[in-house]
Structure 1
Amino acid sequence: MHYYPMAFPILFLLFIALPFSTAKLNVDYYKTTCPNFQKIVNENIYNKQSASPATAPGILRLFFHDCITDGCDASILISSTAYNPHAERDADLNLSLSGDAFDVIVKIKNELELTCPGVVSCSDIVAQSTRDLVKMVGGPYYPVRLGRKDSLVSDGSRTEANLPKTDMNMDAIISKFTAKNFTVKEMVALTGAHTIGFTHCKEFSNRIFNFSSTSEIDPTMHPKLAAGLRDVCKNYTSDPSMAAFNDVRSPGKFDNAYFQNVLKGLGLLTTDYLLGVDPRTRPLVELYAKDEQAFFNDFAKAMEKLSVFGVKTGQKGEVRSRCDQFNHIPA
């Protein structure tokens, strides 16, 4: 047997370089306690996505809203009650989240509770489902470290304080990310998630109806897109569900078309336009528009980082029996 005196110090240094909470996570966390975890997740999201293509963007958005608020802890899944009347799920910014996303998480949780009761957290289900769905619709693979616990708190006011909003300027949006130690590059890469899914008309109605005293539409938006959106969204005030695809070219495929669209004035939101003109973000938009692999590489790294942001481990969380309620009523 050979003895390498430096091996332990090097491994120790690698360990302490990780945030303590994330050092406990690993990709094989359920290998012995729930060996069918990944199979159950993958089969359920495949069936749901096949039946309802809105599932992938819905889960991806739910995942981001959950993680960026107070960490990836499934606090967004908690339903409001008399004891907790304004949970994250009922915050204004979360009311438009996809019902398909919530439904598939519940279905997976129910099956896992039958297979390995009390073992798998809802937050791990969300993280794994998100990665699998991104890959399923053509996006990049990235490893998902597991072992998160579910939150013991869900406060809707925290959502309002932490999520970026569509009416913000670029300084405000960047500050939302840098305050959580995400770089501008990571922010732009994560924004590429808009390559799938849709946005409700009310979020961009200011750009296509009565934009200013001199123009009905925002002149920075492609006129043909604006005309089409005005037709799609003409009844949005009476029907809040009216929406348009974020990527008009390939809305169901995870690719780099979103960035190409931004440079052509084909983004729905004012923030899309700002992303393409701000000197801090435009070079990245241009890079991702011409090099899909560069986008995929950076998106995967950013998602891996986001997926362990603010995770709860040990006594800081619990494994919920139901994803929509705490195991015990908060004091």
Structure 2
Amino acid sequence: MMKISFLFFFCIFPLVLSDLQVGFYSSTCPRAELIVRQVVQNRFKTDPSITAALLRMHFHDCFVRGCDASILVDSNSTKSKSSEKDAGPNQTVRGFELIDEAKKTLEAACPTTVSCADIVTLATRDAVALAGGSNYSVPTGRRDGLVSDPTEVNVPGPTDSVSDALESFTAKGLTLNDMVTLLGAHTVGVAHCFFFQDRLSNFQGTGKPDPSMDPTLVTKLSKTCGTKSRNKNPTVFLDQNTSFVIDNEFYKQIMLKRGIMQIDQELSLDKLSAPIVSNFASNGIGFQQSFANAMVKMGSIEVLVGNAGEVRKNCRVFN
């Protein structure tokens, strides 16, 4: 049985962050955070990969229109209207049914009170803690957005250079340190082979593997992703060592040329990001604290508060 150590670092944040508040629902829905936590705990018991799924969902939501749950909205076939879910980068985002379950329970306890955007943020925090990450405080009070447009989905990609990815992060008010930290979420992630297939045999049209990847790893991944694979769309762990644990192993791996996706490997090679990678690889506690801070910071990107937006009754449909 997999053993996961639980690390609890209580990071201190201002009580108010971008008009969000820790304990926002303490009077209007006192059990809100407990309800979300119980739903996540029940899912995690049978599916520890839910941590990676929620981290990706949260990231893909916040990087489009801010953290407004616009990624949760279903397309409307009767009105021929697409949503963010239809965009290419979101085709493999999953975990929506967990958000639905939490929302249904919250609506029974406190109707039209807890936003879907806050559910995503809280669920991600709880999943991080269950996977061995920090148990950090999350400011809440987000409102749900009124727009979900697939043409607006433009998130950093697996083949981006460090400088290209950094442009996307800085546009959202995040720093280089935030970027290197948040990409550390790949310590529990997976990737479909087509995202890195060229690195195994025809890197940048050379007809050869990417020289920055460990040859032993190239051989292993080639077997998994090859034409003889029984799985037509195989996936591999981005952290080949502690694949379900949020720790600093990801950084140790990319320093050993064992990064799966090109952007991951380049973090350890680029002169801007390499010192941060080296620091996290040797300082697990420092990474955990930085990760908690970066998650809270990301969760405050362009949030809707006050009378803006709405609180959806069903996370998949505008009111």
Distance 1:236 1:246 in 2: 21
Indicate yes or no: 2:234 matched with 1:242.
yes
Deviation of 1:141 after TM superposition, in Å, equals 2.3
Match of residue 11 from structure 1? none
Match of residue 146 from structure 2? 152
Deviation of 1:86 after TM superposition, in Å, equals 2.4
CA contact (8 A) 1:109 1:122 kept: yes
**Aligned partner of 1:177 among 169, 172, 176:** 169
Match of residue 69 from structure 1? 64
Runs (4 or more) in structure 1 with deviation over 2 Å come to 82-86, 209-216, 235-241
**How has the CA–CA distance of structure 1 residues 41 and 84 changed in structure 2, closer, same or farther, with 3 Å as cutoff?**
farther
Deviation of 1:215 after TM superposition, in Å, equals 4.7
Distance 2:232 2:177 in 1: 33
Distance 1:202 1:129 in 2: 29
Deviation of 1:284 after TM superposition, in Å, equals 0.2
CA contact (8 A) 2:223 2:229 kept: no
Q: Deviations over 1:27-52 (max 9, x none)?
A: 21111211111111111101101111
Match of residue 286 from structure 1? 278
CA contact (8 A) 1:77 1:323 kept: yes
Q: Bigger CA drift: 203-212 or 72-81? A: 203-212
**How has the CA–CA distance of structure 1 residues 271 and 320 changed in structure 2, closer, same or farther, with 3 Å as cutoff?**
same
Match of residue 34 from structure 1? 29
Match of residue 307 from structure 1? 299
Match of residue 8 from structure 1? none
**Aligned partner of 1:59 among 29, 48, 54:** 54
SS of 1:67 mapped into structure 2: helix
**How has the CA–CA distance of structure 1 residues 127 and 214 changed in structure 2, closer, same or farther, with 3 Å as cutoff?**
closer
Deviation of 1:179 after TM superposition, in Å, equals 1.5
- AA of the residue aligned to 1:144: V
Deviation of 1:84 after TM superposition, in Å, equals 6.3
**Aligned partner of 2:188 among 178, 186, 196:** 196
**How has the CA–CA distance of structure 1 residues 123 and 214 changed in structure 2, closer, same or farther, with 3 Å as cutoff?**
closer
RMSD of Structure 2 on Structure 1 (CA):
1.9
**How has the CA–CA distance of structure 1 residues 86 and 209 changed in structure 2, closer, same or farther, with 3 Å as cutoff?**
farther
CA contact (8 A) 1:201 1:236 kept: no
SS of 1:316 mapped into structure 2: coil
- AA of the residue aligned to 2:76: T
Match of residue 81 from structure 1? 76
SS of 2:140 mapped into structure 1: coil
Match of residue 6 from structure 1? none
Number of matched residues? 305
Q: Deviations over 1:241-288 (max 9, x none)?
A: 310001000001110000001110111011112111111000000000
Q: Which has the larger radius of gyration?
A: 1
**How has the CA–CA distance of structure 1 residues 121 and 269 changed in structure 2, closer, same or farther, with 3 Å as cutoff?**
same
**Aligned partner of 2:159 among 149, 167, 170:** 167
SS of 2:22 mapped into structure 1: coil
Unaligned runs of 5+ in 1: 1-13
Distance 1:41 1:30 in 2: 13
Match of residue 127 from structure 2? 133
SS of 2:153 mapped into structure 1: helix
Unaligned runs of 5+ in 2: 1-13
